[in-house]
Amino acid sequence: MNRAEEFSRQGFLVLPGFVPAATCDALKARAEQLVAGFQPETVSIFSTHEQTKTSDEYFLSSGDQIRFFFEEGAFKPDGSLRQDKALSINKIGHALHDLEPLFDRFSRTPELAALAAELGVKQPLLIQSMYIFKQPFIGGEVNSHQDATFLYTEPPTCLGFWFALEDATLENGCLWALPGGHQLGLKKRFLRAPGGGTTFQVLDPTPVPEEGMVPLEVKKGSLVVLHGLLPHKSGANTSPKSRHAYSVHLIDGTARYPEDNWLHRAPAMPPRGFSQR
Q: For residue range 169-178, what is the model confidence (pLDDT) as tens digits?
A: 999 999 999 9
Coil, strand or helix at 84: coil
CA distance 77 to 79: 5
Which amino acid is located at 222 in the chain? Answer: S
- CB 261 within 8 Å of CB 201: no
Cβ partners under 8 Å of residue 223, min gap 6: 13, 14, 15, 18, 19, 161, 162, 163, 164
pLDDT at 222: 98
State if pTM tops 0.85: yes
Whether the Cβ atoms of residue 262 and residue 60 lie closer than 8 Å to each other: yes
CA distance 130 to 42: 18
Of the candidates 123, 174, 179, 157, the residue with the CA atom closest to the CA atom of residue 6: 179
Starting at the earlier edge strand, list the strands of the sheet with 142-145. Answer: 142-145, 232-234, 175-177, 214-216
Looking at residue 50, its pLDDT comes to 46
User: What pLDDT was estimated at residue 57?
Assistant: 83
**Residues of the chain predicted below pLDDT 50:** 49-55
pLDDT score of 46? 54
Cβ(161)–Cβ(97) below 8 Å: no
What per-residue string of b and e applies to 234-266 under the rule 16 or more CB within 10 Å gives b?
bbebebebbbbbbbbbbbbbebebeeebbbebe
Q: DSSP letters of 102-157?
A: HHHHHHT-HHHHHHHHHTT-SSEEEEEEEEE---TTT---EEEE-GGGTS--BS--
CA geometry: angle 59, 157, 119, nearest 5 deg: 125
Would you state the pLDDT for residue 54? 45
pLDDT value, residue 90: 83
Nearest-10 crossing angle of helices 3-10, 110-118? 60
Per the CB < 8 A criterion, the answer to whether 128 and 248 are in contact is: yes
| d(C-alpha 120, C-alpha 272), whole Å | 17
3-class secondary structure, 37: coil
